[in-house]
Amino acid sequence: MSESTIVVLPTYNEIESLPEVIARLREAVPEAHILIVDDASPDGTGDLADLLAARIPEIHVLHRTEKQGLGPAYIAGFAEALRLGFEVIVQSDADGSHRPEDLPAMLAGLDGQDVVIGSRWVAGGDVQRWSLHRYLLSRAGSLYAGVMLGLHQKDLTGGYRVFRADALRAIHPEQVTSRGYCFQIEMLDRAVRSGCRVVEVPITFDDRLHGESKMSGRIVVEALLQVTRWGMARIFGRERVEVAPVREPSHV
């Protein structure tokens, strides 16, 4: 891995999962740095992150004063990663659902590309211990968003992704308004519209290591309603979204 890489991990009450996720990341990609973005977790996750950062120079911590949702946490993490000068920025969950062991293949997939999606729905992708309801909800969400927004990728809602720094600058995450489930769709849509070269690499998605999923049917329904609004705005020519063209990567 010739380019400087950082993995952005938003956390909220992940004190049980974080040590294992960090250990697995450091084994899978030893050269990578890790940025923990903690939203004032009441369970002490932020304090644990500080302890880890004090012992391991490659770990960085960004503390936020309140829980504001996954989207704003990633946006803050992306901005910090760019400020620190990293060339490759990874977004990943801190609950163990995204396997660190899949990351080397995703980083390799960045060759000649701007964005890599860790995809559950391409050949070789998989999910573990999902109910039929959750499976159908996720597949239907990606299919519907793809139709409404004209996106051809198979996994629009997955949150395991790799970005070149120039691609993130072209996407302008700070202009993304979605906070939760729809954040992933909006980021991908902006990436495609800015001309980013996007590739999907198969991953296996696990259930979280500890605790309960923060996903709910209400969150998914809200996201699909938002996608419907975006799609209808495009059909009737009322959408105004500015995205910058991505520059050619300095490393291929």
* Average pLDDT of span 90-102: 96
Q: For residues 197 and 115, give the distance between their C-alpha atoms in angstroms, rounded to a whole number.
A: 6
pTM given for the model: 0.89
pLDDT value at residue 207:
78
Average pLDDT, the chain: 89
* Average pLDDT of span 216-239: 77
Note the pLDDT tens digit of each residue in 115-151. 999 999 999 999 998 888 888 888 888 899 999 999 9
Nearest to 104 by CA among 42, 210, 211, 27: 27
CATH annotation of 5-235 = 3.90.550.10
- More reliable by pLDDT, 165 or 136: 165
pLDDT value at residue 39:
96
Cross-sheet strand order for the sheet of 5-11: 59-63, 33-38, 5-11, 88-91, 161-164, 115-119, 198-202
Contact 145, 226 (CB under 8 A): no
Contact 118, 201 (CB under 8 A): yes
- Residue 89, SS3 per DSSP: strand
Q: For residues 183 and 73, give the distance between their C-alpha atoms in angstroms, rounded to a whole number.
A: 11
Q: Above 60 in pLDDT, residue 20?
A: yes
pLDDT value at residue 178:
87
Name the residue ranges covered by the structural domains of the chain.
5-235
pLDDT value at residue 251:
39
pLDDT value at residue 209:
61
